[in-house]
Structure 1
Amino acid sequence: MKLLIFGATSPTGLEITRKALSEGHKVNVLVGSPDKLLDDIKEKVNVFHGELTDESTMLSSMDGVHAVISTLEPHLGEYPGGLPNTNRYRLMMNCMKQKGICRLLALSTPSLGNKEIDS
């Protein structure tokens, strides 16, 4: 199976990428900072460099993919353009629909902010 992994440079993403490779899957990764990929992984995956807001790059990274795995981390704070992950997942799912990809595994962690504690 060919997989696309978002968040492949995070600790969880690195482990999922390693596991997918060890199981014999072909793996694409879309990353903002390819230099964060470890050498043992970088040489075994197809690396797409870009932002998760770039539809063209996202569509290219999905060519031939059977399933998408996302380990995007939540972001705290207020953003004028909406919540970053909401916008990213909306674009991701629209691109998946265009490519006929029906499988999405999204992993995340709850992240609660407390202005009194965070100050």
Structure 2
Amino acid sequence: MKIALFGATGRTGRIILKLARQEGHFVNALVRNSASLSSNDATVIIGDATNANAVMETVATSQAVISALGTDGGTVLTEALPKIITAMKKQGISRLITIGTAGILNSRLEEGKLRYESSESRRRLTRAAEEHRRVYELLAASDLDWTIVCPTYLPDGEMTKHYRVEKDYLPEDGREISTGDTAYFTYRQLFSEDYYKTRVGIAY
């Protein structure tokens, strides 16, 4: 399979790239700096995820897209996703898996609210969650076969391959999930239809 990967140099994206290459898949990776990724690991495209031409070059000839882009303290995520969606439609690609945040899952305590809007969230700043919410709304309005993987607190850590997941909610009493297990679950969604067109919470 040929995979377009955004965010390949991030904490989770690097692990996704490693998993894909270990299983013999080809990867197009969009990076800002040529020194940040070896050409032995992927076909490296130099550019910015907010640039439509760079996004199109990354997506072209791929069969699926994974985005491990973060909010980057700004609007990179919400600027990039419309361009990724447009490029996918032009290329006839339907499968998109992104990494979001547990803040955009449904609240268990307050019906009709997302976790970041409810008393479940301990974060005072909501800017990142609002960025991820806009991405969720964009995908929900699209006809793509999308999945948003929504980890809670995300420390660096190895793959255990033992975790809990739940559609649209964070698993009860979930406190954290490692970058390794988040990457593993995200990557495995390339070969599963279990969570098409939905958010999925992941935690230990």
Q: What is the one-letter code of the residue matched to 2:57? A: S
Match of 1:20 in 2: 20
Of 56, 71, 75 in structure 2, the residue corresponding to residue 74 of structure 1 is: 71
- The CA distance in 2 between the partners of 1:13 and 1:57, in whole Å, is 18
Q: Which structure's relative contact order is higher, taking Cα pairs within 8 Å and 6+ residues apart?
A: 1
The 2-side partners of 1:72 and 1:113 are apart by 22
List aligned pairs for 1:47-62, cutoff 5 A. 47-62=44-59
Task: State whether structure 2 residue 90 is matched by structure 1 residue 90.
Answer: no
The answer as to 2:125 corresponding to 1:114 is yes
Q: 2:62 aligns with which of 43, 60, 65?
A: 65
Task: State the distance in 1 between where 2:33 and 2:43 align.
Answer: 14
Superposition deviation, residue 114 in structure 1: 3.2
Q: Distance in 1 between matches of 2:72 and 2:56?
A: 24
C-alpha separation in 2, matches of 1:45 and 1:76: 27
How far has the Cα of 1:109 moved from its partner? 3.3
Question: What does residue 29 of structure 2 align with?
Answer: 29
> Normalised by the size of structure 1, how large is the TM-score?
0.79
Q: Is the 8 A contact 2:51 2:80 kept in 1?
A: no
Tell me if structure 1 keeps the 8 A contact 2:4–2:64.
Answer: yes
Does the 8 Å CA contact 2:8/2:31 hold for their aligned counterparts? Answer: yes
Distance 2:95 2:15 in 1: 20
Name stretches of at least 5 consecutive residues in structure 2 with no aligned partner.
104-122, 127-204
Deviation at 1:75, TM superposition (A): 4.0
Task: State the identity %.
Answer: 33
Aligned residue pairs, count: 107
Higher helix share: 1
Distance (Å, rounded) in 2 between the aligned partners of 1:23 and 1:104? 19
Letter in 1 for 2:8: A
**Kept in 2: contact 1:74–1:110 (CA 8 A):** no
- SS of alignment partner, residue 48 of structure 1: strand
- Where does the alignment leave 5 or more consecutive residues of structure 1 unmatched? 78-82
